[in-house]
């Protein structure tokens, strides 16, 4: 169905409010990354920084924990990490 006024531009892909939300709303990957990072930090806090114990709390091997620490840009330590 053609528009009533041919000079009228088409509507934006999102309503203005939704466009703002889309810009500030994290993607699923970003959300999962942030949540996993926070979960690792909490496990490290509960374990007193002991990575072996933190890995057991998380249900992963210590090697997996080290890989995740590196992947999430947390290095091999969590000292002073308050994200």
DSSP string, 10-77: PPPSS-HHHHHHHHHSPPHHHHHHHHHHHHHHHHHHHTTT-HHHHHHHHTS-HHHHHHHHHHTT-TT-
Q: Which residue has the tokens 């114990």?
A: 53
Query: Which domains does the chain carry?
Result: 29-71 (1.10.10)
pLDDT per residue, tens digit, the chain (83 aa), is 555 555 666 666 656 666 666 677 888 989 999 999 999 999 999 999 999 999 999 999 999 999 999 998 887 554 444 43
How far is residue 74's CA from residue 67's CA, in Å, rounded to a whole number?
Answer: 10
pLDDT at 10: 63
pLDDT at 5: 57
Q: What is the pTM of this model?
A: 0.63
Residues whose CB is less than 8 angstroms from the CB of residue 20 and which lie 6 or more positions away in sequence, other chains included: none
């Amino acid at each position: 169905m053609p528009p009533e006024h041919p000079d009228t531009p088409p509507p934006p892909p999102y309503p203005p409010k939704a466009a703002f939300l889309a810009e500030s709303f994290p993607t699923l990957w970003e959300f999962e990354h942030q949540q996993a990072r926070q979960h690792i930090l909490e496990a490290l806090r509960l374990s007193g920084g002991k990575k072996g114990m933190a890995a057991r709390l998380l249900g992963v091997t210590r090697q997996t924990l080290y890989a995740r620490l590196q992947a999430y840009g947390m290095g091999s330590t969590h000292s002073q990490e308050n994200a």
